[in-house]
Amino acid sequence: MRYYCMYCGASNSSISGLTAMHCRTSPTGRHVVYEGSEKKRYHCMYCGASNSSISGLCAMHCRTSPTGRHVPYAGDEKSRYSCKCCGATNSSISSLCAMSCRASPTGRHVPL
């Protein structure tokens, strides 16, 4: 099993090996473990952009992410996605994230 950093996509065979290394894009300065499952496509939790790998997604800039980079959504695919700030729903992550949210610190819906 591989463990991935949710901020840059770096991987390691152990959690301790991953979190011991420095990460230039993480707010903490260290790699943070992505807690989701491996997927065919990864979606940004702030804008809904997608890529076939975590590292590919994290390498791209995101206008709505607090870090300035895409951050992968850790949840599984669903028929409806809900905003964790206000409860609004939509059938796709990208559509949900495209709408504004008064309760969110980023001003956009954030999928739960």
**Cβ atoms of 106 and 98 closer than 8 Å:** no
Backbone torsions φ then ψ of 54, nearest 5 degrees = -65, -45
pLDDT tens for the chain, residues 1 to 112: 899 999 999 999 999 999 999 999 899 999 999 999 989 999 999 889 999 999 999 999 998 888 899 999 999 888 999 999 999 999 999 899 889 999 988 888 989 8
pTM of the predicted model over 0.75: yes
User: Which segments within the chain are labelled E, that is strand?
Assistant: 3-4, 11-12, 42-43, 50-51, 81-82, 89-90
